[in-house]
Chain A
Amino acid sequence: MKKLLLMILLVVISMVTSAHAAPNKAVEALEVLRHGFSAMTDFSAEIVQEKQMAMMKRKMVSKGIVRFRKPGTFYMELLPPYGSRLLLRDNVLTMRLPEQGVADRIVLPPEESLDKWFAYLAKPVTKLPDGMELRAERQGSGWNLQLFPKGKGGVKELAISFDGDGKIKRLTIQERNGDNTVIKFANMRRNAGLKDKDFQLN
């Protein structure tokens, strides 16, 4: 579950910001992400997810969309053949597999809710967050940010690439069991005035 939350967090904060150079790049990168986040109310984007898993012979490629609206509503829809819808409102995560008619609702512990991260982003970033190691690298006008969570969780590494306008290009999640997920983003729109109907599971 933490994997999902980290991914959502990165997507949210990296879509709404632009980057600047700084001596301590990781802190700088996080600070510019935070700064940009404060000016955003919502966003949407189209995605292509490529998932390579040990138990699958081939990569699973899915297309879909992501939407976010402040203060803490995140929606993700993957289109068939692996159609699923996922809604995270505060710390309540609801998943629906329309084709299978399966729905699941989980209340996440507070440390896994978006609120905790938004509280972190409410203050200027002066030091790196606990529980992970961060590296940032500037490539031309864009940024590559890498996160290495500590501990025995499933996620080994998260990497995010975004351009100078804060438009995310790519998110990579590497797991300790060798599974790998790459999400590519396109047609990003910020402050588009998303409504409640844009966050409906049914």
Chain B
Amino acid sequence: MLHYRIKKLSSAIVSTSNSLIRKHLEWIYTVTTTKPALVFVVCCLVFLLSCLSITRIHFESDIFKLFPQKGPLALFLDTIKWTGSAGNTYILLEGEDKGKLTREAELFAGKMQSLSIDGAPAFTKVKFRVFDPAEAKPFADFISYAVTRPQLFVAPADVSRYQQLLSPESVDSSLRRAKTELATPGSLSEMVACDPLYLRDLILPRLKTASEALDLDKTSPYFLSRDGKVLIIIAEPARPVTDIAFARKLVAAINEARKGATVKISFAGAHLSAVTDEKVLKENVIVGVLSSLIIVLALFYVAYRRFLPTLLIPFILVYGVVLAIGTGGLLFPTISIISFAFTSLIIGLGTDYSIHLYDRFHFERSNGKSADEALRLATVDTGHALFTAASTTAFPFLALVLSDVRVLSELGFLVGLGVIYSLYATFFFLPPLLLFMEKKYPLKAYKPLPSFGLGWLWKMGQRYWRGDIALSSAAMLCLLLAATGTSFESELKNLQPRNSEAFLTQEKVERHLSVSPKQLIVAVEGNDLDDVLKQGRKVNLLAQEVQQRGEIVSYSSLGLVMNGEGDQLKVAGKLAERLGSAHVGIAVNSALAREGFATEPFQEYVLRLDNLTKAQTVPPKEGIDRLLRSPLHGIVERHLIQNGNGYHLLTYLNYRGSEFQQAPFLKKLKEQVPTSRAASVDLVSGQLSESVRQTFLLAVIIGSVMVLFLLISHFNTPTGILYSLFPVASGTIAMLGVMALCGMRLNFMNVMVLVTVLGMGSDYGLHIAHRVRNCNEEEYQGRFIQSGRAVLLSGLTTIAGFGSLAFTDYGALASIGWATNFGVAATTLFTLATLPAFMHFFGRSRRADDLP
């Protein structure tokens, strides 16, 4: 009884929805054929409002902003912002001759230092040397401070060495060395004056380790790679990247400055990316859109030989795109430039409706129907299939709106709406145009349209249906097997423009100058500096553990340069104990006099040494301030950031790859420093993969339910649903299989093509199944040819639309293009080659059932 009620209710829902759709389509037919002027005016008004909305949109080119601003990615982005590396310009000089490189670096750095934009310096800082002679004095001042505060700067393990350097024998030996250095021309007398006992030998290595953000040739005064083939100049632009006019002038000025250089000079940085990548991307999209539009129009014209409907297609597409972006402008203040890829998708998808509508109109006219009747059948009957098809395409895309990955959310929204708007634009513009043509430019006769071999396919499918189904199933199984080799590409950088200068330069920096291929950043944050440093020392201990186990190459933190309170007490205690009553000051003073030194210049130094046994802990803030005032300020700037949110202490763990067991490390980190945050390329990729996975599942579930509901309501028979779903399932499997065979991987972007294929692919079977039913069997072949031709052309136009993406330089877009092309091509093939066989099989079963 319940089953009967459910069935009745479901039938009532299906028939009501079908009836409503038909009424809606009848209304469209009536209003477009009787009041075309009114329709046109209203459409123009909506178009203008959309244009107005578009003017409010800011277009975003930063790829990172497209992803969720939380978890590891948030810290990753914060670090880039805090350390200023996001805004810097990295200029890379390449060559085989070191001498040539350094000479050109001097010359080019000079040009950059004097570069001016609108009368103001283009850069606030240009660095290309490890040591700047102008910094000798402040460096000596810092060393003078640091060497007599061993409790702050000497590692506890080095206390005995420090004490050894203060022994009478060492003091004499050091002073003799100092004298020899002083006698040598070119020696740095400032360093001897600030520390004649060479206590700095225990401090400088620590400072050097912490300041090494790049893997440089230690014998060179330049930022030169170890292999001597690459030299980097780091420049800080005077204005932020958001000042796009400045960025453009800066890029132009750098381009001008590098003309005639004797070595290869390339550069990277936010300013270049903002100007060049955006330009390249725009060019890619524009070229892609135009080329695919030309191909699509050519296909349409070649198939139907009608000029005005061909010409109408671009208007329909533009209308759909503008309305979609305009609606987007109402909801999103910014839209990613990558989301513009949707324009290509709309070209592919939006043309389908014109093809199906016109094809049916032409078919009916060639079968002798009147213009009105042909148009009514096209709008209402084929329109019904189009309505369902557009809904099955649009809903999976619209489901992406729920994603927290902004690019997917935007893309889903724009494509979903674009599809619906294109459908309505076709409904509103094509029928009046066809009627207009019937009146003004009537054809003498509507000749049958080319069948493109579809009649042969139908006959083969009907005759050899067993072989056809077996062959298709075997192909599907093989591709399913190949699809098991599908892997996921989680490297974000591979989604960037592959041939862009910024990308290639960044790759070279990683190859030649990176300390290690990967880095994990741990941030400890808070408002109390002492507490932050204390927590940071716990991170240090954990980093030390993994380094001892060989999991990481090295790590750097402020704790490696300066001792915390505990270590300070330890160092001071050990010194007090070991130096005891030895009057270091008096001994050093005597030694200075004995070796012929004037003692007066060393009085302060001697006095501080004399007080070592009474050394007190030094507030870390004092040491940090001294470092900040010295040429070594970069150490603090890299490891400790203070802003409105308090202090952010960063520890960098350099690692090579999977040997670093991040999960146990992070677990321990969470246990010991619960408030800490961590980020690495692996963690960010993991976070994004998870986000995309969730979005994907959501879209697939919602999309599948919607598609199934729409198909059930359209057909109300299992065979119709099977005809719609078989090509999609086959197409999806084929897409994954071919991608795996071609060595292509799924990534954050193209994984969504699966959703696209799900929504779009079901349309092909739906159109065939919609047409090849409710008539005499003799009519099946003709109807299959008509709908199959429209499906074939739809497939080709979609491939033309997506195909343009496949050849763009943007890895993200190219991967979408290839994946969709594989998916659509396979779906089209399975629809046209296999459905005739299935139709024969199920028709045969039905006929057998019908027998008495």
Contacts and interface: CB of A to CB of B under 8 A. Distances in A.
B180 A83 contact: yes
A95 B106 contact: no
A202 B77 CA distance: 52
A76 interface: yes
A179 B180 contact: no
A56 B219 contact: no
B179 interface: yes
Contacts of A91: 99, 102
Contact of A106 (B180, B183, B185, B221): B221
Contact of A58 (B185, B219, B596): B596
A105 B180 contact: no
B31 to A, nearest CB: 79
B176 interface: yes
Contacts of A97: 177, 180-181, 184
Contacts of A49: 183, 185
A1 B133 CA distance: 9
Contacts of B183: 49, 51, 60, 62, 78, 82, 84
Q: Dominant SS at the A interface?
A: mixed
Nearest to A101: B177
Given A53-B189, A55-B192, A56-B598, A100 B219 contact: no
B417 to A, nearest CB: 60
Contacts of B145: none
A130 interface: no
Most chain B beta carbons < 10 A, residue from A78, A81, A109? A109
A108 interface: yes
B179 A181 contact: no
Contacts of B182: 51, 53, 55-56, 60, 82
A93 interface: yes
Interface string B8-41: 0000000000000000000000000000000000
Interface string B182-218: 1111110100110000000000000000000000000
B602 interface: yes
A107 B179 contact: no
Nearest to B188: A1
A109 B192 CA distance: 23
B601 interface: yes
Contact of B602 (A3, A55, A58, A86): A55
Interface string A4-24: 110100000000000000000
B597 interface: yes
Nearest to B601: A55
A39 interface: no
Given A53-B189, A60-B182, A107 B597 contact: no
A51 B181 CA distance: 12
A82 B184 contact: yes
Contacts of A81: 179
A85 to B, nearest CB: 9
Interface residues of A, number: 40
Interface string B122-138: 00000001000100000
Q: Majority SS of interface residues in chain B?
A: helix
A196 interface: no
Contact of B185 (A57, A86, A107): A86
B185 A4 contact: yes
Nearest to A173: B185
A110 interface: yes
Most buried by A among B133, B189, B598: B189
A62 B181 CA distance: 12
A59 to B, nearest CB: 10
Contacts of A110: 99, 102-103, 106
Contacts of B221: 106-109
A90 interface: yes
A123 B102 CA distance: 24
Contacts of B366: none
Nearest to A116: B103
B220 interface: yes
Contacts of A100: 173, 176-177, 180
Contacts of A106: 219, 221
Interface string B521-553: 000000000000000000000000000000000
Contacts of A179: 189
A3 B186 contact: yes
Contacts of A181: 185
A95 B181 CA distance: 10
Contacts of B602: 55
Nearest to B183: A82
Contacts of B133: 1-2
Contacts of B179: 56, 60, 81-82
A14 B187 CA distance: 23
A52 to B, nearest CB: 11
Interface string A98-142: 011010011111110000000000000000000000000000000
Interface in A35-90: 49, 51, 53-58, 60, 62, 76, 78, 81-84, 86, 90
A141 B602 CA distance: 46
Contacts of A62: 183
Contacts of A5: 186
A86 to B, nearest CB: 6
A105 B193 CA distance: 21
Interface string B593-623: 1001110011000000000000000000000
B139 to A, nearest CB: 14
Nearest to B602: A55
B129 A105 contact: no
Interface string B77-107: 0000000000000000000000100110010
A97 B177 CA distance: 8
A110 B102 CA distance: 7
A111 B106 contact: yes
A109 B602 CA distance: 32
Nearest to B186: A4
Contacts of B186: 1, 3-5, 86, 93, 95
A7 B193 CA distance: 22
Nearest to A111: B106
Interface of A: 1-5, 7, 49, 51, 53-58, 60, 62, 76, 78, 81-84, 86, 90-91, 93, 95, 97, 99-100, 102, 105-111, 179, 181
Given A95-B186, A179-B189, A181-B185, 18 more contacts: A4-B186, A49-B185, A55-B597, A62-B183, A78-B183, A82-B182, A91-B99, A91-B102, A95-B184, A99-B176, A100-B173, A100-B177, A102-B177, A106-B219, A107-B222, A108-B221, A110-B103, A111-B106
20 contacts: A2-B133, A3-B186, A49-B183, A56-B598, A60-B596, A82-B179, A82-B182, A82-B183, A84-B180, A86-B185, A90-B99, A93-B186, A99-B176, A100-B176, A100-B180, A107-B220, A107-B222, A109-B222, A110-B102, A110-B106
Instruction: In the A-B complex, list the 6 residue pairs whose CB atoms are closest, starting with the nearest.
Output: A4-B186, A82-B183, A84-B184, A100-B177, A4-B185, A82-B180
